Amino acid sequence: MKDFLSLADLSPDQLRGLLDLAAGLRSSGTASDRPQPLAGRTLAMLFAKPSLRTRVSFEVGMRRLGGDALYLSPAEIGLGSRESAADIARVLSRYADVIMARVFAHADIEELARFASVPVINGLSDHNHPCQGLADLLTIRDAYGDLTGRRLAYVGDGNNVAHSLLHGGALAGMHVTIVHPENHAPSAAVMHTAEGFASASGGSVHATTSLDGVDGVDVVYTDVWASMGQEDEAAARKARFAPYRVDEALVARAGADAIVLHCLPAHRGDEITDAVIDGLRSRVFDQAENRMHAQMALLAWLAGGMPLPA
């Protein structure tokens, strides 16, 4: 596997191995004990949209594994306007050992991967967010010890985060329900792919407009109602999504030991309340930390030649 564009590209064994490798790197102790598979290697971080977690987690993670990271801002690159994705990929492949890109259109990440001669990692696209999905699954596994059979309800827009949860959860044998307002369902193609994974793993995937989908679940997950690039829809979405706010009453419908996740940044008071995100059930900041550990595993595997645990 050269690139990481989607969790759907992984086999169940590869997914399990990445989570195991992430957990192992997280517990590797002091810097002197940590493996350095990326010594002398450079990560080019290409941003078409800004991010706190994506930039810092990749940059710090790369350096912890012995490598270096170079940040390329939207203004410096002009992806698709100043220069084509194909040309950017070919140039960066001459300078760097691995490319991470955070883009708007998924076609851009696909074109980068097609023309790059080094591994390309999808740091986010409008279609999916596989690095976030890895961190999410690692956080759920930390809470429960195993993913098989766990029930997750994602509440909100059927967006890129929902798509990666469907792919990853289905691969891992989870039961994933997307609880969404009318006309905000996840992609039918993503649902179809996830159904195939779930059939093989013993999991299941569902999409519903009913908040009954939260009842008894192990994980309640939400995200912003309007993503970057949807600012002009924010007011209309706020009115439409208000019944889907994750508050204490909604979380009370989940299982007694349920945890709450949010990929951040959070619009507190909109999709999630302060009482929930700061409450005892929240694992939101563990989840944010796990972005770095999951991505370190990806970098070590794709660019450092580190094998996945069997």
Query: Catalytic annotation on 129?
Result: yes
Catalytic residue among 129, 262, 281, 283: 129
Residue type, 64: R
Query: Catalytic annotation on 291?
Result: yes
Catalytic residue among 41, 53, 102, 150: 102
Average pLDDT, the chain: 96
Mean pLDDT of 196-216: 98
Alpha-carbon span 181 to 158, nearest angstrom:
9
Alpha-carbon span 142 to 22, nearest angstrom:
11
Q: What's the token pair of residue 145?
A: 């010890």
Catalytic residue among 97, 291, 293, 295: 291
Question: 177: pLDDT confidence band, cut at 50, 70 and 90?
Answer: very high
Q: Residues 212-253: pLDDT tens digits?
A: 999 999 999 999 998 767 778 888 899 999 999 999 999 999
Judged against a pLDDT cut of 90, whether residue 139 lies above it is answered with yes
What is the predicted pLDDT for the residue at 159?
Answer: 97
Q: Please count the other Cβ atoms lying within 10 Å of the Cβ belonging to residue 121.
A: 25
Q: Please count the other Cβ atoms lying within 10 Å of the Cβ belonging to residue 140.
A: 28
Alpha-carbon span 29 to 305, nearest angstrom:
21
DSSP 177-238: EEE--TT-PPPHHHHHHHHHHHHHHT-EEEEES-GGGGTT-SEEEE--SS-TT-GGGHHHHH
Mean pLDDT of 5-22: 98
What residue ranges in the chain does DSSP mark as E strands?
A: 42-47, 68-72, 98-102, 120-124, 151-155, 175-179, 204-208, 219-222, 259-262
Query: Catalytic annotation on 167?
Result: no
Q: Is the distance from CB of 100 to CB of 58 less than 8 angstroms?
A: yes
Alpha-carbon span 18 to 293, nearest angstrom:
10
DSSP 236-282: HHHHHHGGG-B-HHHHTTS-TT-EEEE-S---BTTTB-HHHHTSTTB
Judged against a pLDDT cut of 80, whether residue 88 lies above it is answered with yes
What is the predicted pLDDT for the residue at 119?
Answer: 98
Question: 34: pLDDT confidence band, cut at 50, 70 and 90?
Answer: confident
Q: Residues 90-112: pLDDT tens digits?
A: 999 999 999 999 999 999 999 99
Instruction: Evaluate if pTM is beyond 0.85.
Output: yes
Catalytic residue among 108, 218, 223, 270: 223
Q: For tokens 């991505």, what's the residue? A: 295
What is the predicted pLDDT for the residue at 290?
Answer: 98
What is the predicted pLDDT for the residue at 78?
Answer: 77
Query: Catalytic annotation on 223?
Result: yes
Instruction: Give the least confident one: 54-68, 107-121, 223-237.
Output: 223-237
The candidate with the shortest Cα–Cα distance to 244, out of 178, 194, 195, is 178
Catalytic residue among 16, 53, 151, 263: 263
Alpha-carbon span 284 to 278, nearest angstrom:
9
Query: Catalytic annotation on 295?
Result: no
Mean pLDDT of 288-299: 98
Mean pLDDT of 34-52: 95
The candidate with the shortest Cα–Cα distance to 194, out of 180, 184, 186, is 186
Query: Catalytic annotation on 263?
Result: yes
Catalytic residue among 132, 167, 237, 262: 132
Q: What's the token pair of residue 236?
A: 């209309």
What is the predicted pLDDT for the residue at 67?
Answer: 98
CA 106 from chain centre, in angstroms, equals 14
pLDDT > 70 fraction of the chain, expressed in percent and rounded: 99
Q: Is the distance from CB of 259 to CB of 266 less than 8 angstroms?
A: no
Judged against a pLDDT cut of 90, whether residue 33 lies above it is answered with no
Q: Which domains can be identified in the chain, with CATH numbers? A: 7-129+291-302 (3.40.50.1370), 130-288 (3.40.50.1370)
Question: 150: pLDDT confidence band, cut at 50, 70 and 90?
Answer: very high
